Amino acid sequence: MNTVPASNHVPVALGDRSYEIVIQPGILSQIGQVLQHAGCAGRVGIVTNPVVNQLYGRVVHRALRHAGFSPFFIIVPDGEQAKTVQWLSKILDALVTQRVERQDFLLALGGGVTGDVAGFAASTYLRGIPFIQVPTTLVAQVDSSVGGKTGVNHPQGKNLIGAFYQPRMVVIDPRILNTLPPRQWIAGLAEVIKYGMIADKEFFDYLEHHVEGIRTQSDDVMP
């Protein structure tokens, strides 16, 4: 079995809600083995949008099947239009139709919106089933996939309906970022820079001295 090096495991200590962030280039093709090792089993509802599904859906589906899981897709729209009560209901309908049980789980394959609505669905179905975050944008990888914020919008405002619900695991494949449009890459970098300014001078200095290499995602600069 291929394993992910221990140095790429980042523990998030939250008592009985603790989980790991697993970071490894190329991990999408190993995700079935990674989740199997983490104790996951059964049916897997892959919540994703058409764009991400076209890029990575087949790889994830194949890796899960090879590890003995029974995956199925739940396709939601790209962007904020998926973050509604109506689409939450459609996800729940799919889980009922597929006869998903408590030992099964959801896998959010996408950006922040996908993670928010999939996580909230997981928190409410059968009073809570496990879910896995597989973020595909830089903003989602460094921000929205961790922390447990889930939810949907209401016509009167954003994120008015939701819950704090921690993922079972966050799986990050840095190679995914190579397919990001420049605008999304730069938006994510803004979050990274903010963290450096607030909490880590050494990290901020590294960013400042490698601006061009980071902007172009150079292998010599990117960790």
What domain count does the chain have? Answer: 2
What DSSP string describes 100-133?
A: --TT-EEEEEESHHHHHHHHHHHHHGGG---EEE
Same domain, 116 and 212: no
pLDDT, mean of residues 11-16: 91
Asked whether residue 2 carries a pLDDT value surpassing 50, the answer given is no
Say whether both 195 and 124 belong to one domain: no
Same domain? 143 vs 216: no
The pLDDT of residue 7 is 45
* Residue at 185 is within a domain: yes
6 pLDDT tier (thresholds 50, 70, 90)? very low
Q: Name which of 187, 88, 82 is nearest 143 in CA terms.
A: 187
Are 28 and 135 in a shared domain? yes
Specify the pLDDT at position 223.
58
Instruction: Examine the domain organization and report whether 103 and 70 are in the same domain.
Output: yes
Mean pLDDT of 113-140: 97
Q: Quick check: is 1 in a domain?
A: no
Q: How large is the average pLDDT for residues 124-135?
A: 97
Identify the domain containing residue 213 by its residue range: 181-223
